[in-house]
Structure 1
Amino acid sequence: MTVDVVISGAGPNGLMLACELSLAGIRPIVLERLPEPSEEPKANGLLGQVVQLVDRRGLYER
């Protein structure tokens, strides 16, 4: 397996970064220390440039 970027953490930011890099033709790998998804919420809201990025991808509804 060949990767261009290693991302530490599969939370909302790490996964969004991985998706954006993939769309740009960069091959990321996401490393997560937890063996399964957490029961606790990781993102309680979206702020700043993240909102613009999500909207640009058509994933944000007002």
Structure 2
Amino acid sequence: MPFDATARLKAAIPFSIDDYLELVESIGRCLRPGKRGAKDFANPAIAARMVIDAPCAGPTNA
């Protein structure tokens, strides 16, 4: 399925590939007990732009 941030295509993921990759990286860096190299953030910019809950929301950084 292609990425289409402009929403011109009916069968497309509704954001750009760059936004998707940033979201995946953000989720991978969420704080978890015992995890090294994690970021501490409650509402990353990508989540705000995509109007979704912060990917790291949860008891470990609430």
Q: Give the alignment's TM-score, normalised by structure 1.
A: 0.25
Q: Which has the higher contact order (CA 8 A, sep 6+)?
A: 1
Write 1 or 2 for the structure with the bigger share of helix: 1
Write 1 or 2 for the structure with the bigger share of strand: 1
Q: Give the alignment's TM-score, normalised by structure 2.
A: 0.25
